[in-house]
Amino acid sequence: MDIAAYDFGGRGPDLLLVHATGFCAAPFGPLARALADRFHCWGLDLRGHGHSGRPPDGDFAWSGFATDVLTVVDQLELSHPFGFGHSCGGATVLLAEQARPGLFRSLYCFEPVVMPDAARALIAETNPLADGARRRRETFPSSEEALANYASKPPYGELDPEALQLYVEAGFLLVPDEEGGDGRTIRLRCRREDEAATFAAAGDHDAFAHLATVGCSVTLCCGELTDAFGPRLMRADAEPMPRARVEILPEMGHFGPLQRPATVAGAVIRAFDAAAEPGDGTPPS
């Protein structure tokens, strides 16, 4: 199974960006550009997303996403990089750090899907995100129609226009003629059944139980307008970790990194600068 990785460029220490369920690395383009004066940004498409392969056994356990991160770090020979994760990506970088302590220099997690047992049990009983993914429209007559459709409704219509354009360009593929394509019809690369399986597995990982083992500095962030993982959960996640802080960013929701990339980039830079202050045990940039 191949895992696609991307070099966004930039100057400074390495920073790995990990995307949310159903997305891929490409829409991080505006965020990476806003970080480029301070970090060399990299990205990857998690298994079943973007240009990466689907797991042969159909297993979308989130521990596999952590393995994808470890594989990319090793293959790119990234030494003690910074890490940024959005939603599923936030949980993924925490799982990767738990699997290999000391992997990351510091982490910035935007609404990571890391929940205590009560919340995990609740989504095991009913998971509207998985149900919604199964009903998701998977094909469009053209990329232009897909872009217009997404731009007309939330949450995609609330994204930075360039990020949305990059998502449509990277997140779809032309339907082969043998599948009824006409040379213009496009289909989601992340198949809806795979997205649903990813959402369904969100409560199965045990990252919350092992947060105390995360020794690097961690910023847990949520959007002020979020309807997903808000301040209460971020504080619950921060409590077990020895070097964690919570930040709430204004005028954005759960998709903040793709809605207001420059604002999020500024927060990331400030957080990582604070983590690198002398005497905190963090290697210098």
Task: Average the pLDDT over 59-84 and give the result.
Answer: 97
Share of the chain above pLDDT 90, in %: 88
Asked if the peptide bond before residue 155 counts as cis, ω within 30 degrees of 0, the response is yes
- Using the predicted structure, report yes or no on whether residue 149 has a pLDDT greater than 80: yes
CATH superfamily of 5-136+191-275: Alpha/Beta hydrolase fold, catalytic domain (3.40.50.1820)
**Spatial separation of the C-alpha atoms in residues 98 and 280, rounded to whole Å:** 20
User: Average pLDDT of the chain?
Assistant: 93
- Using the predicted structure, report yes or no on whether residue 278 has a pLDDT greater than 70: no
Instruction: Enter the tokens of residue 164.
Output: 């949305």
- Using the predicted structure, report yes or no on whether residue 213 has a pLDDT greater than 90: yes
Where do the structural domains in the chain lie, given as residue ranges?
5-136+191-275
DSSP string, 93-121: HHHHHHHSTTS-SEEEEES-----HHHHH
Residue 25: the pLDDT is 98
- Using the predicted structure, report yes or no on whether residue 177 has a pLDDT greater than 90: no
- Using the predicted structure, report yes or no on whether residue 198 has a pLDDT greater than 50: yes
**Spatial separation of the C-alpha atoms in residues 147 and 152, rounded to whole Å:** 9
- Using the predicted structure, report yes or no on whether residue 216 has a pLDDT greater than 70: yes
Helix, strand counts (H, E) of the chain: 11, 10
Residue 178: the pLDDT is 57
